[in-house]
Every structure is written in C-alpha cells, then in structure tokens.
Amino acid sequence: MSRRKLTPYLFLVPGCTILGAFIFYPMLRAIWLSLTDYNMIQDAEFIGFDNYAKLFQDDLFWKTLLNTVIYLVGVVPALVIIPIFLAVLVNQKLKGIGFFRSAFFIPVVTSLVVAGIAWDWVYKENGLLNYALQLAGIITEPIGWLTSTSTALFAVMVVTIWKGLGYYMIIYLAGLQSISESLYEAADIDGANWWQKVTRITIPMLMPFVLLVSIMSSINAMKVFEEIYVMTGGGPLHSSETLVFLIYNEAFGNLDMGYASAAGVILFLLTLILSFINLKFVGNKGNLS
C-alpha cells in the first residue's frame, strides 16, 4: 500500500485506540463478567446465564426497570418539546437577549451537588414549594416530596428537566440559525400567525435536531444516576431507584460484579433498542443527511 493510501488510516489510529481502550474493551469485559460469579476479591467463576436468570426473577430489578421507564416517559417529552419554544423565545433580535440565553443555560453548568441541595430546600416539608402551595390554598398539609413513595421519583424528574432545558435549548438554537428568514417572510405575506409559523416552518425544519435531542435525552434518562444519588439515594423503599442505581448498589455495595454486569448488559440492550426506535419514528421525519 502506498504512503498516500496509508495516511488516512494512520489518522484513524489514535481515535480507534481510544475507542477500543475505553469503550469496546470495557463493553466486552462487562459481557464476559455477566456470565461469571465475580466479587472483585476471588477469581471470576464462569456460571453461564445464571445471573440473567436470577435477574429476571428479582422483584427489585423489575421495580427499578419500571421506575426507569416512568422516568423516561416523564422526562424525554419535556426535554424534546419545551426547549424548542425556549429556543424560539431567545432567538428574537431584542436588546439584552444574551442575558436570557445565559440565564436559561445556568442550570446546565451548575454543580449537581449544589442543585441537589437547593432543590432539597425547595422540597422540604417546610420548604418553598409547600409554602407556596399552602399560600395558594392548593394543599392544607405539607407534602414530603422526597420522602413519599408516591412523589419522590417525580420530584427528581423535575430537577432533571430543569437542569437539561438550557442544554437542549442551545442545540435547537443552533438549528434555528440555519433556517432561512425568507421562509418566515413568505409566511408573513400569506398572513400566517406566530403559532402557524412555529408549527409549519420552525418545527419541520428542526426535525433533524429533534432526532438528535430525542436520542440524547433518552440515553441520559436511561442512565440517570447523579440526581437520585444526591437527592433520594434511591428511596424511600426503592421508589426512586432506577436501573443504573441498582447496578451501582450491586457492584459497589454488594460487590457482585457479575450480577451488576448482567443488569448493565440489559440496560445497554434497552438503550440500543430505544435509539433504533427514535431513528425509526423521528428519523423518518427529519433526515440528518
């Protein structure tokens, strides 16, 4: 092979090496560990698919899987739809609009520990949220938002949405910059109102970005961990525990790396299926090419 033909492959070597060392090898290693009994102290013992059989018989696994699905269904639509309107809002050519763009983006760069402490204060029984609801006459008794099995997961979902809005807004904002102003001018001539321009021009032209946001937010929702770790620790009674949190507890709490790896493989397969679903249904409406 001539030097000219070899050059492109040489440029690929560093990237392929990094992917192999930090992505593909750990993935293959996790698949192998899922077929073993391994506690990080003794040598791994091959046990076949016993971890998977145990997993599917574990009530806690199904509970955390259900929590993960609820989390996904509650968070993803909000993170796909709301940032579109935020992006349209901050895309206006108004004086001081840069300040509002920065304000919406502040939660993204805020430390999750700081955000968790702030929201914990909001959610306390004597916190800001209960005070506002009681003041408005909506509730008479304070609610333990993070200590009740019926509200803990949804309270954490709100924090995830709050923290992610600005990030996905920036993605949509980049997409809005690529839409020709002539389309809106033609719509103005035809007498289209604001809502018609958003639904018939903005959103259809943003479909490739909607696909990107759908996949990114779905993957992030499937592997949510930090918010739950900081705010609820998976409680009360596992009501806010997701699949990733189960993997963490099994791996580093119970030192059962084989069982945790099996759960991780299931999570990987579910995430892969979800990505294909997004590509199938959303991708048909917006071709990235």
pLDDT tens column, 198-209: 888 988 899 989
Beta bridge partners of 45: 37
Residue 289 lies in a domain: no
Query: Average pLDDT of 42-60?
Result: 94
Q: How confident is the model at residue 285 (pLDDT cuts 50, 70, 90)?
A: low
Amino acid at 49: F
Residue 19 lies in a domain: no
Residue 84 lies in a domain: yes
Query: Average pLDDT of 78-87?
Result: 93
Provide the number of structural domains found in the chain: 1
Instruction: Answer for the pair 274, 258: CB distance below 8 angstroms, yes or no.
Output: no
Query: Average pLDDT of 228-245?
Result: 93
Residue with tokens 């005070």: 131
Mean of pLDDT over the chain: 89
**Residue range of the domain that includes 234:** 55-281
Q: Coil, strand, or helix at residue 36?
A: strand
Residue 268 lies in a domain: yes
CATH of the domain at 90: 1.10.3720.10
pTM across the whole model: 0.87
- Residue 45 phi, psi (nearest 5): -115, 125
With helix as H, strand as E and coil as C, how does 233-264 read?
CCCCCCCCCCHHHHHHHHHHHCCCHHHHHHHH
Residue 219 lies in a domain: yes
Q: How confident is the model at residue 284 (pLDDT cuts 50, 70, 90)?
A: low
